Structure 1
Amino acid sequence: MSPVEAWGPRRWARNGAVRLAFDEFMPELGGEPLLVVTGLGVNRYWIPVGFCEQLAEHGFAVARYDHRDGGESTHLPPTAGRNPITALLARRGEAYTAEDMADDAIAVLDELGWSSAHVLGVSLGGAVAQRVALRHPDRVRSLTSVAAVPGDAAGLRTLRYIRLGTLAKFARVKFPDTREGAVDAGVAVVKLLSSPNREFDEAVVQARLELDSYSGVHDQEAQSRQIGAQWSGPAITEIARPTLVVHGEDDPLIKPSTAHVIASRIPGSRLLLLPEAGHELPENTWKPLAAAIRELADTNA
Structure 2
Amino acid sequence: MSAGEAWGPRRWAQNGAVRLAFDEFMPELGGEPLLIVTGLGAGRHWLPDGFCEQLAEHGFAVARYDQRDGGESTHLPPIAVRNPIAALLTRRGEAYTAEDVADDATAVLDELGWSSAHLLGVSLGGAVAQRIALRHPGRVRSLISVDAVPGDVTGLRTLRYIRLGTLAKFARVKFPDTREGAVDAGVAVAKLLSSPNREFDEAAVRAGLELNPDSGIHDQEAQSRQIGAQWSGPAISEITQPTLVVHGEDDPLIKTSAAHVIASRIAGARLLLLPETGHDLPAHVWQPLSAAIRELADTNA
TM over 0.5: yes
- Look up the match of 2:148: 148
- Look up the match of 2:214: 214
2:85 matches 1:93: no
Measured after TM superposition, the shift of residue 91 of structure 1 is 2.9
Match of 1:217, SS state, is: helix
Aligned AA for 2:199? E
Q: How far apart are the structure 1 equivalents of 2:288 and 2:242?
A: 18
Aligned AA for 2:153? A
- Look up the match of 1:129: 129
Q: How far apart are the structure 2 equivalents of 1:70 and 1:64?
A: 12
Measured after TM superposition, the shift of residue 94 of structure 1 is 1.0
Q: How far apart are the structure 2 equivalents of 1:269 and 1:93?
A: 30
Q: How far apart are the structure 1 equivalents of 2:212 and 2:149?
A: 27
- Look up the match of 2:31: 31
Q: Deviations over 1:243-274 (max 9, x none)?
A: 00000000000001111110000011000000
Measured after TM superposition, the shift of residue 213 of structure 1 is 4.0
* The 10-residue stretch of structure 1 (85-94 or 245-254) with the greater mean CA deviation from structure 2: 85-94
2:19 matches 1:19: yes
- Look up the match of 2:178: 178
- Look up the match of 1:278: 278
Aligned AA for 2:299? T
Where structure 1 has 5 or more consecutive residues not aligned to the other structure, the ranges are none
Q: Deviations over 1:100-119 (max 9, x none)?
A: 11000010000000000000
- Look up the match of 1:163: 163
Aligned AA for 2:258? T
Q: How far apart are the structure 2 equivalents of 1:278 and 1:214?
A: 20
Match of 1:35, SS state, is: strand
Aligned AA for 1:211? L
Q: How far apart are the structure 1 equivalents of 2:197 and 2:92?
A: 38
Q: How does 1:69-108 map to 2 (within 5 A)?
A: 69-108=69-108
Q: How far apart are the structure 2 equivalents of 1:92 and 1:204?
A: 38
Q: How far apart are the structure 2 equivalents of 1:198 and 1:152?
A: 32
Aligned AA for 1:13? A
- Look up the match of 1:293: 293
Query: Structure 1 residues 13 and 240, CA, compared in 2 at 3 Å: closer, same or farther?
Result: same
Q: Deviations over 1:185-226 (max 9, x none)?
A: 000000000000000011100000000143411100000000
Q: How far apart are the structure 2 equivalents of 1:57 and 1:246?
A: 20
8 Å Cα contact 2:242-2:300 kept in structure 1:
yes
Aligned AA for 1:225? R
Q: How far apart are the structure 2 equivalents of 1:94 and 1:209?
A: 32
Where structure 2 has 5 or more consecutive residues not aligned to the other structure, the ranges are none
- Look up the match of 2:242: 242
8 Å Cα contact 2:186-2:213 kept in structure 1:
no
2:64 matches 1:64: yes
Q: Deviations over 1:27-58 (max 9, x none)?
A: 00000000000000010000100000100000
- Look up the match of 1:198: 198
Q: How far apart are the structure 1 equivalents of 2:190 and 2:150?
A: 23
8 Å Cα contact 2:117-2:141 kept in structure 1:
yes
Measured after TM superposition, the shift of residue 287 of structure 1 is 0.4
Aligned AA for 2:156? L
Aligned AA for 1:259? A
Match of 2:211, SS state, is: coil
Q: How far apart are the structure 2 equivalents of 1:65 and 1:140?
A: 16
Measured after TM superposition, the shift of residue 89 of structure 1 is 1.4
- Look up the match of 1:232: 232
Match of 1:5, SS state, is: helix
8 Å Cα contact 2:244-2:270 kept in structure 1:
yes
- Look up the match of 1:266: 266
Measured after TM superposition, the shift of residue 3 of structure 1 is 2.0
Match of 1:277, SS state, is: coil
Q: How far apart are the structure 2 equivalents of 1:145 and 1:255?
A: 14
Q: TM-score, normalised by structure 2?
A: 0.99
Q: How far apart are the structure 2 equivalents of 1:214 and 1:56?
A: 24
Measured after TM superposition, the shift of residue 299 of structure 1 is 1.5
Q: How far apart are the structure 2 equivalents of 1:6 and 1:182?
A: 24
